[in-house]
Amino acid sequence: MSIDYELAEQAVLSSMLHDESGLATAQAGESLTKDDFSTTDRSTIFETCLRLSPCNEIDLIIEHAHLKDEILFLSEKYGGGSIERYIEYLINHRNTRAVELALFHASDDLKASKPAEEISQSFVNRVAKSLSQRKGVVACGAASKQAYAEFLEVDAGGTQAIPTGLEKLDAILGGGFKKGSLYVLAARPGVGKSALAIQMTYETAKRGLRASYASLEMSASECAGRLLSNASGVRKPSSKGFLNAGHKQKLETQVQAMQGWPITFKDDNQATMQSIEAFVAKQRLEGELGLIVVDYLQLLSSPGHDSRVQEVSHISRSCKAIAMEYEVPVLALSQLNRALESANRNPMLSDLRESGSIEQDADCVLLMHREKEVDPTNDDIICNVAKNRNGEVRATKLTFTKPTGRFSTRVDARLHDKKPF
């Protein structure tokens, strides 16, 4: 049966009126707003269902007697089953309207002779706003039932988190990266934070999820080169004649495989927070995102602030806003203060450079440092989860194969269940 706008509206609202568990209402509230419905009456019914959930037609008639006929009409349309495809139809309808409206504004901007870049960015931002999945207000009852369903999913071995590919780290993070969360990965230069972020991007793409990597330090080809070494196990040649036939075969096979990987790089050493927002918005227009990486925070600028502290504070808040608006994990790399190099201790949250708001805005902060005190010749890296809103805080050891930029985890009795440094 084909779906039209009227049918989709009826299906969603009638399901909410018959939603004894509250799960369908929570699902609709996560994706839709009152503006997705054709009349004021239906918008009112939608919002009341969210507030009273779970509810039925009697509950609504008591509160809105003047809508009795419409409520009973919708209630009679209930056909049971999932409403996912009807919600998707209403979302697509909203996005189509957003494109039409953005085109209308773009036409006016062209007539006003505005710069092409400004028109393009304005168009992308207008359309992307309609793609946010965190829209409605959901009653506590419905939200708690959805949370319970997520608890059961995790308990059964499933998770909505996106694994980092590092088993020990995933265990601390509760399965991996969570949608809507801001993760900060911080270290002094040369410890390997970019290498780890690129590997996490690779792990995301391996699962068929789209990833966007914004680098203010490296070109797209440098990022891809690190990715190529990480995935193939062949390091970048340091001299003529380093690559043998076996190396070349591995690289050629890997390059061919990478042609279909859903990874996009943005290389711009003059990037502003506004340009990062536009980049993410454009990527989101092409489909759902699995991970966004910003490498790194202190190189970003955001004009219009009186001090660098205020500027970095705005940047970190904007990264969190992107994560929430697009329901995607954001991994933001950060430098640690230079003074740490002369201090005889391991990094702490207070060592995050330039602004305390980075620590405040982040849902999770990972601090990396070398374990040189134990063995100056090794490449073991300690990754300390020093802040974690949704899980435990402790450290794990990562083994870093520097030539290929590959990280792995291994059991270390000294670090097992160890609290933050």
- Split the chain (421 residues) into runs of 10 and give each run's mean pLDDT: 75 87 80 86 89 83 89 82 80 81 83 81 70 54 69 67 88 88 89 90 88 88 87 80 83 85 84 81 78 85 77 85 86 83 77 73 88 60 87 86 81 40 34
pLDDT at 142: 62
Q: What is the pLDDT of residue 420?
A: 37
Confirm if 358 and 297 have CB atoms less than 8 A apart. yes
Give me the pLDDT at residue 367, please: 92
Q: 385-388 long-range contacts, Cβ below 8 Å, gap at least 24?
A: 385/169, 385/172, 385/173, 385/420, 386/348, 386/349, 386/420, 386/421, 387/349, 387/359, 387/362, 387/363, 388/172, 388/173, 388/363, 388/364
Written in H, E and C, the secondary structure of the chain is CCCCHHHHHHHHHHHHHCCCCCHHHHHHHHHCCHHHCCCHHHHHHHHHHHHHCCCCHHHHHHHCHHHHHHHHHHHHCCCCCCCHHHHHHHHHHHHHHHHHHHHHHHHHHHHCCCCHHHHHHHHHHHHHHCCCCCCCCCCHHHHHHHHHHHHHHHHCCCCCCECCCCHHHHHHHCCCECCCCEEEEEECCCCCHHHHHHHHHHHHHHCCCEEEEEECCCCHHHHHHHHHHHHHCCCCCCCCCCCCHHHHHHHHHHHHHHCCCCEEEEECCCCEHHHHHHHHHHHHHCCCEEEEEEECHHHCECCCCCCHHHHHHHHHHHHHHHHHHCCCCEEEEEEECHHHHCCCCCCCHHHECCCCHHHHHCCEEEEEEECCCCCCCCCEEEEEEEEECCCCCCEEEEEEECCCCEEEECCCCCCCCCCCC
Region of 116 (left: φ > 0; alpha: ψ -120 to 50; beta: rest) is alpha
Record: fold of 1-157: DNAb Helicase; Chain A (1.10.860)
CA–CA dist 383, 185 (Å, integer):
9
pLDDT of residue 421: 34
Cβ–Cβ under 8 Å, residues 332 and 319: yes
Q: According to the model, what pLDDT value does residue 364 have?
A: 92
Q: According to the model, what pLDDT value does residue 419 have?
A: 41
Structure confidence at residue 139 (pLDDT): 60
Architecture of domain 159-235+244-409: 3-Layer(aba) Sandwich (3.40)
Contact 199, 407 (CB under 8 A): yes
Q: In the prediction, which pLDDT does 411 show?
A: 46
Q: What pLDDT shows up at residue 196?
A: 92
Q: Which residues belong to CATH 3.40.50.300 in the chain?
A: 159-235+244-409
| Amino acid at site 416 | H
Neighbours of 88 (CB within 10 A): 13
Residues of the chain with CATH 1.10.860.10: 1-157
Give the pLDDT of residue 2: 53
Q: Are strands 263-267 and 210-215 parallel, antiparallel or unpaired?
A: parallel
Of 93, 78, 66, 79, nearest to 4 by C-alpha is: 93
